[in-house]
Structure 1
Amino acid sequence: MNLPLGLTLTVVLLVGNGFFVASEFALVAAKRHRLEKTAAHGSRAAAAAVKGIRELSLMLAGAQLGITLCSLGLGVVSEPLIAGTLAPLFHTLGLPEAAAHAVAFVIALSIVTFLHMVIGEMAPKSWAIAHPERSATILALPFRGFTVAVRPILTALNGVSNLLLRMVRVQPRDEISNPRTPAQLQRLVEESRRLGLIETTDHAVLTQILRAPAAGIAALVAPADGIVAVAADASCQEVIDACARTGRTRLIVRDGSGTPAGVVHVRDAYLARRRGAGSRAGDLAYRLPELASTTSVSEAVAALRAAHSQLAVVRTPDGALAGLISLDDLLSTLLIPA
């Protein structure tokens, strides 16, 4: 084999090895929910990556097959090529033919091993770990195409490896699954604190985070009699004056019966006054979501985020107005120890 062709094949094999290494680490490190979100917006590459994660065992087998083939190719093509090129040079320097071949082989092996580790292994691995979702999306389609082409071989190899695992009573899995219940996580936190792996303040915050989502919101509700409100027919100036007087940027808007009908932001009142549109508080108000007093913190946070609202009306089980709750108060229960 001539030198230009051999060097070209060497570069192709190194790039191929790096491709399979990056594909392997990208699928393992990528967050599935992020890829699913991208796939939902029509990305075929992200959809292919999600399918790869669902068949992780088979895809990893494909990566290992590709890496093995490229490594064998480097051993068959690159090492003999470099050794064959260097051996005559050492022979002309006076080394015996056997010694010249031995020295050339050692140098060739060192060069190929170095290139294989740096270009074919470490660099693509670091890139895939640093940008898992991006690398998984970029590599998903060609990598999945390769695995589809060699699927019969991979299925056979995977079946043999799974059989060996079952023989030692290990149940193989096709995708990464590591869910933890709150109780399990709490035990991990307690054990970490006992061993001195986390500080007391970190332990308190983590414990609060684990306990708060299941707690009810009743203790966080601002009573109905403390609600600062304006009438639905209040002018923009009246809204601005009320905000200045109370120090609040949002005010509840009550309808004719006194029931909270929405919330108005002082910013909207300023903009409406500047336009001179003659808008009233009811015209500027946006709807408030309603929650039951028995709602949990996690459910309340989800409801407020879904409604894009900072406040919610809370009602008792019989439908009476209990008060208001804010997203800030809900989130503070996750971060501030009781």
Structure 2
Amino acid sequence: MLFVAILIVLTAFFVISEFAIVKVRRTRIEYLAGEGNKRAKAVLKVLNNLDGYLSACQLGITVTALGIGWLGEPAFAEIIHPLIVQFDLSEGLVHTISVAIAFGVITFLHVVLGELAPKTIAIQKAEAVTLMTAPPLIFFNWIMFPFIWLLNGSANLLAGLVGFKPASESDEALSEEELRMTMFNSHKSGEINDSEIKYVNRIFDFDDRVAKEIMVPRKEIVCLFTEDSFEENINLMKEEKFTRYPIAADDKDEIIGMVNIKGIFNDDHTSERTIDKYIHPIIHVIETTPIKTLLTKMQKEQCHMAIVVDEFGGTAGLITFEDILEEIVGEIRDEFDSDEVPAVQKIDDKTYLLEGKMLIPDVNELLSTNISDEELDTLGGWVLSKDNEPQQGTLITEGDYHFQVTEVEGHQVKYVQVKELENNEKNDLSTATLQ
């Protein structure tokens, strides 16, 4: 019986080792190894030859399971036999019943104590288990290497015939969606906070953005002109309170550079000044330029402003370094932005005030709607596609929402109030649609 107990313990060891090394996070082990944890370095050795060590676990499980069956069944049958004899049955029937009960008992002990319980522990405590079991597993692999090499080589050969690679060569890289799901689960369990997951999601979205989506549109660009006097340009700077301004020759389609007000205010003023003296180069990019590419270009050329041009070469908009940074960290406001209205204002649980420049994908994400038109980028553009002469108060119903224009400047939709329909309104709308 002692040998049977030892074999069950050994089975449990190999089972718990196998599940733990498959479940453990490699990145966490690499971190611990980098901190100097010797056991973590042993685990890394196991993970770097995962195929071989899984074979070692399987060999251990198989050998111990055979030993349990070989020794355990006769041992338990011998214990049970005297109890069954008391029922005055034939010797053959007594033997059969004894063997059957012994088989059931040894199977129960093997499955529960040797397989299921260790598996549960390994899955829940993978890191602690691998740190504990890696050194003895390495020792077992060293002793049994010839057998493991033969068995593993045979298995890899068969797997290779049907197109599978060894476990140690498998691709461990995660897709973007898998990373998002991992981050979501970590946030759900409290490992990361709201701010951290927002930053990560913004990073993923950042990679898909292009210049056209985040630019300040041409109509809203505050521009200096070389044909205006120096005093007129200074007055405009004082009124608008920006740090940098694009400067154009005749109109906004001919932007030739940018002006930084620091250069003007730090000048010694010893001579008559003209705005031309303070012009610096500016970057020009097309509308479809990825903002990650633009960010790299800005860093390389040490320029904090870029002009976005359309397919005809005209000015479509303007992007600053701050605009790009806000795509990652969210809105940045300084002491001069007190009159700036946020892109999204929540009025109540069913009502929002949205900026017309808000991107349609962001509107869909906020409202769980499906306003989709590949030719349009912004909420204001979508409103214009529904009514090409929008006025203050123009109302559009789409899905479960009323979209009401609250501010228009020329033909530009500045703000739209979005309100969810009441249940009776939804029912009336559904009835009208069916009719």
Cα distance in 2 between the residues matched to 1:209 and 1:155: 45
Structure 1 letter corresponding to 2:75: L
Q: Return the offset for 1:41.
A: 1.0
Contact 1:82 / 1:108 at 8 angstroms: preserved in 2?
yes
Cα distance in 2 between the residues matched to 1:25 and 1:167: 26
State the match for 1:317 in structure 2: 301
- 1:296 maps to which of 284, 292, 303: 292
State the match for 1:47 in structure 2: 41
Of stretches 315-324 and 90-99 in structure 1, the one that deviates more from structure 2 is 315-324
Q: Return the offset for 1:48.
A: 1.2
- 1:174 maps to which of 149, 168, 173: 168
Across the two proteins, how many residue pairs are aligned to each other? 237
State the match for 2:343 in structure 1: none
CA-to-partner distance for each residue in 1:15-38, whole Å, 9 max, x for gaps? Answer: 111111111011111110110000
Cα distance in 1 between the residues matched to 2:164 and 2:170: 15
Cα distance in 1 between the residues matched to 2:114 and 2:102: 16
Q: Return the offset for 1:178.
A: 3.8
Cα distance in 1 between the residues matched to 2:326 and 2:111: 50
State the match for 1:97 in structure 2: 91
State the match for 1:157 in structure 2: 151
Q: Return the offset for 1:216.
A: 7.1
Cα distance in 2 between the residues matched to 1:41 and 1:184: 27
CA gap 1:93/1:41 in 2 versus in 1, 3 angstroms: same
Q: Return the offset for 1:162.
A: 1.6
Contact 2:206 / 2:327 at 8 angstroms: preserved in 1?
no
Cα distance in 2 between the residues matched to 1:39 and 1:106: 50
Unaligned runs of 5+ in 1: 1-5, 187-205, 228-254, 260-293, 301-313
- 1:58 maps to which of 52, 58, 61: 52
Cα distance in 2 between the residues matched to 1:326 and 1:320: 10
- 1:33 maps to which of 27, 38, 43: 27
| Structure number with higher helix proportion | 1
CA gap 1:91/1:42 in 2 versus in 1, 3 angstroms: same
Of stretches 83-92 and 30-39 in structure 1, the one that deviates more from structure 2 is 83-92
Structure 1 letter corresponding to 2:40: A
Cα distance in 2 between the residues matched to 1:219 and 1:36: 39
Q: Return the offset for 1:166.
A: 2.7
CA-to-partner distance for each residue in 1:91-130, whole Å, 9 max, x for gaps? Answer: 1331221111111111111111111111111111111111
Structure with larger RCO (C-alpha < 8 A, sep 6+): 1
Contact 1:56 / 1:176 at 8 angstroms: preserved in 2?
no
Matches within 5 A, 1:196-235: 210-213=204-207, 215=209, 219=214
Contact 1:315 / 1:323 at 8 angstroms: preserved in 2?
no
State the match for 1:133 in structure 2: 127
Q: Return the offset for 1:175.
A: 4.5
Q: Return the offset for 1:142.
A: 1.1
Cα distance in 2 between the residues matched to 1:316 and 1:162: 49
TM-score, normalised to structure 2's length? 0.46
State the match for 2:194 in structure 1: none
Q: 2:112 matched to 1:118?
A: yes
TM-score, normalised to structure 1's length? 0.58
Indicate the percent of aligned positions where both proteins have the same amino acid.
29
| Structure number with higher strand proportion | 2
Contact 1:54 / 1:175 at 8 angstroms: preserved in 2?
no
Q: Return the offset for 1:80.
A: 0.7
Contact 2:304 / 2:321 at 8 angstroms: preserved in 1?
no
CA gap 1:101/1:225 in 2 versus in 1, 3 angstroms: farther
SS for the counterpart of 2:168 is coil
State the match for 1:330 in structure 2: 328
